[in-house]
Structure 1
């Protein structure tokens, strides 16, 4: 199987998994000349990642407001990989260098300057990619990868 066919098949497996197993919507294939391979992006049914500092600010704001702050889902980047592939730090770095923090169409998040908990949303969020690692039996496992260091979450 050629490399192009392999990547197309891998992408198809991940798109199918996101849409049919995880209820993602608006899943799109993103081709760009300076990317080592096409990426995906889409909207999960619920918010998948909250920055640890944002988590603290949300808790403070909820106590002040005495109400729960809804966490709307955000568009997320997805990088389809096969378990047997060997990627270097330079390969991942090339992907991060080629993308913006927010996938196309996700820039319209309304951010209130008064709400400190929103500083990690919209254009100010860090670059992150959901790695979609496909095994030979088409099982897909997802891992977060961030551009740079991110402190661990408090549970």
Structure 2
């Protein structure tokens, strides 16, 4: 029972931080089969990650169009953790195995909006993107630090 309360408290701390400090919306807690850890899904106020190859395609497409291409935010998975926890590759693999590329949406139209368009740069969005999780690490003073984690090897970004 104590472990459940601990995970619930940790999840609530991260939920509160995302909603009130980082302006996330449509937050939802998921109890995933295959893992005892609750995960959070939500919509950040702006896009968190652009794949390096997508970034190149966007630059070329914007040059041809002579206008900026909108970068709407995408739903993200969030994994609440505590700084004192010891994570293993196996633990992360269990979490990644329990999720899809994008969190389930209450509105099915949202996930299919990007699927219909043929633009080259859209191949890294929606269900075509790789699995990723925003790891929320909470310290004892309730400070939360976020790390973006990908499932597998990911090409580094150009700066």
Structure 1 counterpart of 2:74: 74
Q: Distance in 2 between matches of 1:55 and 1:112?
A: 20
Q: Name the SS for the 1:132 alignment partner.
A: strand
* TM-score where L is the length of structure 1: 0.96
Q: Distance in 1 between matches of 2:71 and 2:116?
A: 14
How does 1:30-49 map onto structure 2 within 5 Å? Answer: 30-49=30-49
Q: Distance in 2 between matches of 1:96 and 1:137?
A: 28
Structure 2 counterpart of 1:132: 136
Structure 1 counterpart of 2:53: 53
1:53-110 deviations in Å (ceiling 9; x for gaps)? 0000000000011100010000000000000001110000001111000100152332
How does 1:19-38 map onto structure 2 within 5 Å? Answer: 19-38=19-38
Q: Distance in 2 between matches of 1:63 and 1:80?
A: 40
Q: Distance in 1 between matches of 2:113 and 2:41?
A: 16
Q: Distance in 1 between matches of 2:128 and 2:35?
A: 22
* TM-score where L is the length of structure 2: 0.94
Structure 1: 4+ residue segments shifted above 3 A: none
Q: Distance in 2 between matches of 1:143 and 1:110?
A: 26
Asked if the contact 2:26/2:43 (under 8 Å) is kept, the reply is yes
Unaligned segments of structure 1, at least 5 residues: none
1:13-38 deviations in Å (ceiling 9; x for gaps)? 00000000000000000012212311
Structure 1 counterpart of 2:100: 100
Q: Name the SS for the 1:144 alignment partner.
A: strand
Superposed displacement of residue 43, structure 1: 0.1
Q: Distance in 2 between matches of 1:19 and 1:92?
A: 25
Unaligned segments of structure 2, at least 5 residues: none
Query: What count of residue pairs does the alignment treat as equivalent?
Result: 155
